[in-house]
Chain A
Amino acid sequence: MTVASPNDFQDSLQPQGWLRYFSFSLDHKVIGIQYLVTGFLFYFIGGALAGVIRAELASPISDFVSRETYNEVLTLHGTVMIFLWIVPVVNGGFGNYLIPFYVGARDMAFPRLNAVAFWMIPPAGILLIGSYFITGAAQSGWTAYPPLSLTTPALGQVVWIVSVLLLGGSSIFGGINFIATVLKLRRPGLKLMQLPMYCWAMLGTSILVVLSTPVLAGTLLLLSFDIVAHTGFFNPALGGNVVVYQHLFWFYSHPAVYIMVLPAFGLVSEILPIHSRKPLFGYTTMVYSILAIVVLGLVVWAHHMFTSGTPPWMRLFFTIATSFIAVPTGIKFFNWLATLWGGKLALNSAMLFSCAFIVNFVFGGITGVALAQVPFDIHVHDTYFVVGHFHYIVYGGTVFVIFASIYHWYPKFTGRMLNEDLGRLHFLLTFVGFNLCFAPQHWLGLNGMPRRVAEYDPSFTTLNQISSVGALLMAISSLPFLYNVLVSAFKGQVAGDNPWNALTPEWLTSSPPPVENWIGAAPLVEHPYGYGVDEDALSVEAATGRDLWSGTGRR
């Protein structure tokens, strides 16, 4: 197939070549790349901020930056990494690029809304980063808990609220678009239970986005009233209630963890079958476990608040509900292991990152179940144990999948392969650096080192220094990656349309794909995971009309 779009009306309206990535393009693939590149820019900014934190914590005294700066840096680090890197990249980036292919559409349901959603992100990011240089950034952490957020400098906090409201709005618009696209835009003949798993993950994620993000928006509006108009919603001095803020905040921010992780589950479900040449194991159970995580994810938020004076019945309910989430999550992990089991594994960079994701996330999941238990949580609440757990989920989980996905889909994005040797070097440095950085933080937390401090007891020095060395390795690991993605775009080996011999729809067109995805009609892919299936058996199925794969995980 050649790249050509003879009849495309966008040709005459939109800038061509690299310029279109700086335009208000309505093409879902351009918007997807815009999300990805913007996200990576903020990843490096957020990473530099993390570098400042680890440099400060390399010694027990506060000597690298001032304490106010340290607070600003940790607030910006959390906000940038969550709202400007993970959420936009795994949802907006890969979602926009892949979902229309997977449902057999030429674009998203609402292309204009899609572009609007993306273009809300750069101003929000500029506001947030700019606040550091102009007004002084917010200092109350990414949670912005009152009364801390009411007593720290007001201007930075208000800019932070405006920025997060913009990003939340962008996220809601994206969610509406994904729900409409997956449910309503499937090509004729394509059934819901034939969709690649990432569609289900994005459907579940988008339901969470639409149900929970508005609550955060409303809460931040009330918080801004407290700051600007001196109302007392969350101000105890004026008769307000800080715990209500925490409830409303976590009603969004716990589902936000699934908003960051479910798409990664979906992406890894695409990558593993292709590189192990086996059908995705347990498709149906995968779908139902995603839906179970969506439902349970909405009723577990108060496990973040076990030390906020929550009554015993509430602790009991939220401990049990949280522990239940381990069941659907565990089902997914066993399904992935069963997908790998006996497969013809290609241990390339995409696969290495995906397998490391399984290892890291299981560890983060185990500490998560531990944290759900009230007696344990009270012991380690607000310590580095929580920091370690969280980064195992979000970095070891989602960021590893983002890298796996870049190695996997880069040939589709650019038409060229990434260099495998550099990819493996990147993986090795990231994997060692990541574990070196975050594993010691569990020990620190168990021994009582609180989070969000610039100074600590000198007995914690060695573990903190190990952690800082790990962070340095992670910083170094981005060099081969950056070199690889920048140089391979021009000098990489030409990929061809389908370098992985994959069956999912995005590989059944040219690389990079034409503007409206396919020349001619979209293909009907009923078996996106039909790897390793005997050709004879397929013809038997066609002749007899019997489903030979019922119960084998292949639909």
Chain B
Amino acid sequence: MSNFKSRGFYIKFYSFLPIIVLFISVLNEFDLNYLKLEYFSFNFPFILIFFFTLKDFKNFDYLLVFLAGLVNDTVVGLPLGISSLSYILICIATSYLRNITIRPNPIKDWFYFLFIISLINSINYSILTLFFSYDLLLLSYLVNIFFTFILYMFFAYLFKYYLKGLND
């Protein structure tokens, strides 16, 4: 009986893992910046949100994504709501892509991801510089977009394994 219970807990934990990882990554700012690789940075939450909302993962609640955005803003020190808006825009983009796609193609998804993160970072940059008078380096945004785009396939591969494990 207890075995069933503990097994049930693990399954539940496993099925909520993406959202837990999302919260850990926004609280921890997991981006390997301390390695001091010049210009290297990437946005892990973007990859995670894009992948799991594109797969319409049932435990990936939009409200929790929205809250993760608020947490990210607090940790990074951005005005509240900026990251939430970015994350929700990713959710909208993936929802739209799901609606118009009949036969999914990973390469098309990948380039669509590039388009979406470029668009969202542009909106982000515009809001911060125009409305909040922040001084930001455009180059670091471009580098961040590039590495996020490059690393998408690697993480997508890992996430597919996760989904396979969940289905098994």
A binds B: no
A interface residues (Cβ-Cβ under 8 A, vs B) = none
